Amino acid sequence: MKNGIDFNNPAPLYEQVERDIKRKIETGKLVPGDQIGSHHELSKEYDVSLITIKKALSNLVAAGVLFTRVGKGTYVAEQSQPKIDLGNHKTIGLVLRDLKHPFFSLIVHAVEEKAYELGYTLMLSSSAGDIQKEESQINHFRNLGVDGLIIASLSLEYRATDYIQKLHEENFPYIMVSYMHDPDYWYVGSNHELGGFMATEHLIKLGYKSVGYVHVGKGNLLSEVRKNGYYRGLTENEMPFNSDRIFFLGAEHFEAGSDRFKLGYEFGQEFSEMSERPDALVVYSDLVAIGFLKACNEKKITVPGDVGIIGFDDIEMAKHASTPLTTIRQECNKIGSLAVDIIQKRIDRIDIGNRTILKPTLVVRDSCGASNKGEIEHIAANSSTAPK
């Protein structure tokens, strides 16, 4: 055990951090008014990630154990107070479906920086793969009196869930940062169809003759949207579509909370046994692609020699993969920053459009065999006419 953290304990690390801070308060090591240290200091002290520290402190603030002063830090609250009074604070609640997901961790960082710049306190929670917990957290934040909500929902359906519809009908300031297909709701994110198109066209222009799409499952609408871009990329470049080149991972219908790395790894093992394989793949996400790469390495399938691949998201691990991964970058910093800007405008009742769609970027590394930057810029220019 190190500084109250037992890495062999199955309890989540953020819960262990919470318990240790509470223990220090109960034993008098920390008293009301004490500053507990910056996020970076606590991350070093407990030897855990910043995301873990932010989650623990957010929960303790919500419980009234701690309170924050914008620009100054986090302090121990008077323990007689059941919870902090948000009446004098500008506060945004951020409800995430998965704190561990590298894409959403980047969103958190951008949201936090922009919220601090605009003078907002950020309260963070994770639904941890449970859609009912997601709803209860939204209700909890509203009961606490937050001014607005940024939501990365677990829902994979076309329509908004009942509680998102309720927020919308009540004109409560919210914004979705997870994919929302229904055009009536508030959303900021990437043009995923264009991203699928860009990836496919890039592979075709590199000379690949058989390009497949790795689909995470029909229950995932976002994967369908990216597949639509793949289909358009084929047809606009006069390459025939073959349904046998659509590869569904695991069960054909995706289940929320599935381990995408594991799904990619298992597909890589299946891929190695195929008698007729495509010579390139557009892969639903970087996590899936990195799992696929691991299986390829084990099965002596070379990337890009035997198969070229392109992922989607540009998570931090993509550039450090065994074969650095070519990918479609979502502009996480812009998405997070714009989400806070939009929330502020909605709080101030400024009339703005309800959908903000950003163009993704093609990031070329080694996994598809591209040779020069001029080629990349040519493809990006040809993709600019794709519809949003």
User: Which residues lie across from 74 on neighbouring strands?
Assistant: 68
Fold classified for 192-330+359-382: Rossmann fold (3.40.50)
pLDDT digit string, tens, across residues 230-266: 999 999 999 999 999 999 986 555 555 568 899 999 9
Per-residue model confidence as pLDDT tens digits over 273-328 = 999 999 999 999 999 999 999 999 999 999 999 999 999 999 989 999 999 999 99
Per-residue pLDDT averaged across 92-110, rounded?
82
Question: 156 pLDDT band (50/70/90 cuts)?
Answer: low
pTM of the model: 0.73
Q: What DSSP line would sit under 316-367, residue for residue?
A: GGGGGSSSPPEEEEP-HHHHHHHHHHHHHHHHTT----SEEEEPPEEE--ST
- Mean pLDDT for 102-114 is 87
The CB density around residue 8, as the number of other CB atoms within 10 Å, is: 5
The residues spanned by each domain of the chain are: 12-84, 192-330+359-382
User: Three-state secondary structure along 71-130?
Assistant: CCEEEECCCCCCCCCHHHCCEEEEEECCCCCHHHHHHHHHHHHHHHHCCCEEEEEECCCC
How confident is the model at residue 81, as a pLDDT?
Answer: 42
| pLDDT bucket at 87, cuts 50 / 70 / 90 | low
- Burial 275-296, CB ≥16 within 10 A → b, else e: eebbbbbbbbbbbbbbbbbbbb
pLDDT in tens, 264-285: 999 999 999 999 999 999 999 9
Least confident of 61-70, 170-179, 214-223: 61-70
Average pLDDT over residues 5-13: 76
Q: Which of 141, 113, 116, 112 is nearest to 127 (CA)?
A: 141
Find the length of the chain: 388
Reply yes or no on domain 12-84 having CATH 1.25.40.10.
Answer: no
pLDDT at position 96, please?
83
